[in-house]
């Protein structure tokens, strides 16, 4: 009998869960001052420019709008601000209240690693590592040391690449409280978890995590423990090394949208990749988070233009009907 083969779509789990923003301030400087907008959508460029002109290099409030328009005109061909007035004004208002996330790196200490490895169970170890990484990132981002973060149990399992039936997850997750990975806290809100073994002294650092490590936390831990993983030459995320010549993860290597998954084969084996389509207007590659998405056929920029044209046609038709009735 062959293995029970399940063909599942590959998904970008991490990107859909939480966003980890490292060195945000330097990124914004690079985008606005150096014009480094490669791969940046119009909406994201507007948002970064809004932060820059309201916080990092603030100008008079009445001039922020036009400084953003000037930046966009310099970096995006055929940009027409008339179609983005509401977006620009919205982002300006949000940017004044926004707290820049300027996390540089996260240190993991020997004491913390010893606690994780003492579990002597690879699934529990990966979950514990994820709990620690999320708690320490939240500490750094909020500039507090309360070791509390917000995540669903399902999200933690996905970050850890641990596959357990949904009905059994909560029962299994109980080990985290019994073995000192999490501590009970009934006053901090829904989906709030508090890590119980964060070492705030950081006397002996054995691993330093950056933004790319947070794209694949489970692989970051497995590579530290056993090796056998490599960073993608393009995006920097960890991937399982299948041969010495391999340089790219499945996402950047544009591999197949589907990959076989076997029941009972373990939980640290799956490479994720998004569904890839080609924009019908500009021909650029577009990556979708779910293979079930059969409606998207344009990139974000082209879709914005298409929707504006479509709405203009609808509005004209409506005005014409109203005119005929009168």
Distance of CA 182 to CAs 98, 175, 185, 195, 326, Å? 30, 9, 9, 5, 69
What pLDDT score does 322 carry? 74
Each residue's pLDDT tens digit, 36-68: 998 889 999 999 999 999 999 999 999 999 999
d(CA 79, CA 231): 36
pLDDT of residue 51: 97
**What integer pLDDT is reported at residue 262 of this predicted model?**
36
pLDDT of residue 16: 44
User: Which range among 78-87, 172-181, 183-192, 226-235 shows the weakest confidence by mean pLDDT?
Assistant: 183-192
* Percent composition of the chain: helix, strand, coil (DSSP 3-state, to 5): 45, 15, 40
Range ranked top by mean pLDDT from 26-30, 99-103, 318-322? 26-30
C-alpha distance from residue 30 to each of 33, 34, 49, 248 (Å)? 6, 5, 11, 25
- Exposed/middle/buried for 232, CB within 10 Å: 0-12, 13-18, 19+? buried
**What does the pLDDT look like over 257-296, one tens digit per residue?**
334 333 343 443 334 456 778 887 887 878 776 666 778 8
Instruction: Kindly report the average pLDDT of the chain as a whole number.
Output: 84
Percent of the chain with pLDDT over 70: 85
In whole angstroms, give the CA distance from residue 131 to residue 194.
9
Confidence of residue 209 (pLDDT cuts 50, 70, 90): very high
The pLDDT value recorded for residue 185 is 78
Check residues 276 and 9 and name the one with the higher pLDDT.
Answer: 276
Q: Is residue 308 over pLDDT 70? A: yes
Which residues neighbour 288 within 8 Å (Cβ) at sequence distance 6 or greater?
274, 275, 276, 277, 296
What is the sign of the dihedral through the CA atoms of 141, 142, 145 and 149? negative
In tens, the pLDDT along 129-154 reads 999 999 999 999 988 899 999 999 99
pLDDT of the residue at 181: 97
Question: What's the predicted TM-score (pTM) here?
Answer: 0.67
Q: Using 50, 70 and 90 to split pLDDT, how confident is the model at 7?
A: very low
Per-residue pLDDT for 74 more than 50?
yes
Strands (E), 1-101: 5-9
pLDDT interval class at 241 (50, 70, 90): confident
Identify the band that residue 19 occupies on the pLDDT scale cut at 50, 70 and 90.
Answer: confident
Q: 98-138 pLDDT, tens per residue?
A: 999 889 999 999 999 999 999 999 999 999 999 999 999 99
Res. 206: pLDDT tops 60:
yes
Q: What is the pLDDT of residues 80-100, one digit of tens each?
A: 999 999 999 999 999 999 999
Per the model's pLDDT, the better-predicted residue between 41 and 245 turns out to be 41
């Amino acid at each position: 009998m062959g293995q029970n083969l399940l063909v599942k779509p590959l998904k970008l789990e991490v990107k859909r869960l939480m966003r980890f923003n490292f060195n945000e301030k330097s990124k914004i400087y690079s985008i606005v001052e150096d014009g480094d907008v490669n791969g940046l959508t119009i909406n994201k460029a507007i948002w970064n420019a809004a932060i820059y002109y309201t916080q990092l290099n603030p100008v008079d409030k009445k001039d922020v709008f036009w400084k953003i328009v000037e930046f966009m005109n310099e970096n995006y061909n055929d940009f027409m601000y008339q179609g983005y007035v509401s977006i620009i004004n919205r982002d300006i208002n949000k940017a004044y209240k926004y707290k820049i996330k300027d996390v540089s790196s996260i240190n993991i200490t020997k004491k913390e690693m010893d606690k994780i490895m003492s579990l002597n169970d690879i699934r529990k170890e990966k979950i514990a590592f994820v709990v620690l990484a999320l708690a320490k990132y939240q500490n750094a981002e909020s500039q507090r040391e309360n070791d509390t973060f917000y995540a669903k149990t399902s999200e933690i399992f996905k970050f850890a690449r641990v596959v357990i039936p949904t009905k059994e997850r909560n029962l299994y997750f109980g080990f985290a409280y019994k073995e000192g990975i999490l501590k009970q806290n009934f006053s901090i809100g829904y989906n709030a978890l508090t890590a119980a073994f964060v070492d705030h002294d950081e006397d002996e650092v054995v691993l330093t995590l950056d933004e790319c490590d947070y794209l694949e936390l489970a692989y970051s831990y497995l590579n530290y423990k056993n090796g056998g993983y490599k960073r993608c030459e393009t995006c920097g995320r960890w991937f399982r090394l299948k041969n010495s010549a391999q340089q790219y993860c499945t996402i950047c290597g544009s591999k197949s949208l589907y990959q076989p998954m076997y029941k009972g084969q373990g939980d640290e084996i799956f490479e994720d990749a998004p569904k890839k389509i080609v924009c019908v207007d500009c021909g650029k590659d577009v990556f979708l988070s779910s293979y079930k998405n059969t409606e998207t056929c344009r990139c974000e920029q082209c879709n914005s233009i298409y929707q504006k044209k479509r709405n203009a046609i609808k509005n004209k038709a409506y005005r014409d009907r109203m005119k005929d009735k009168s």
